[in-house]
Amino acid sequence: MFFIDDLLLRSLGISLPGLDMIWTLEQIHKFALKGYYNPDKIKNQIKETRLLYEFGELNRQEYEQRNSELMHKLDMAQKVMEMDIGSKMDILG
């Protein structure tokens, strides 16, 4: 019901930040993207994986698999930052 109310208010050009359900969901989504696609965090995970491999905690196959996954995730994070997916134009408001 609140979602439908928000859509109706936005179609009329009325937006109430803080009380607007769509705005709240957009803020949660933006925060989640910043947490998941954080290049510094991913770089630290790559370093940690390298150290685990050097200390013998991971064998070569595990290291290469994890490193490949993290490099792909880092590439995606950099693309997300370039696109600035967290900010978009508000067409209705």
23, amino acid identity = W
Query: Would you list the domain boundaries of the chain?
Result: 28-86
Confidence of residue 67 (pLDDT cuts 50, 70, 90): very high
Mean pLDDT of the chain: 78
DSSP state string for 42-87: HHHHHHHHHHHHHTTSS-HHHHHHHHHHHHHHHHHHHHHHHHTTT-
Confidence of residue 12 (pLDDT cuts 50, 70, 90): low
| 76 pLDDT more than 70 | yes
Tell me the angle at which helices 21-36 and 2-11 cross, rounded to the nearest 10 degrees: 100
Confidence of residue 81 (pLDDT cuts 50, 70, 90): confident
pTM of the model: 0.61
Q: What is the mean pLDDT of residues 63-79?
A: 94
How far is it, in rounded angstroms, from Cα 56 to Cα 48? 12
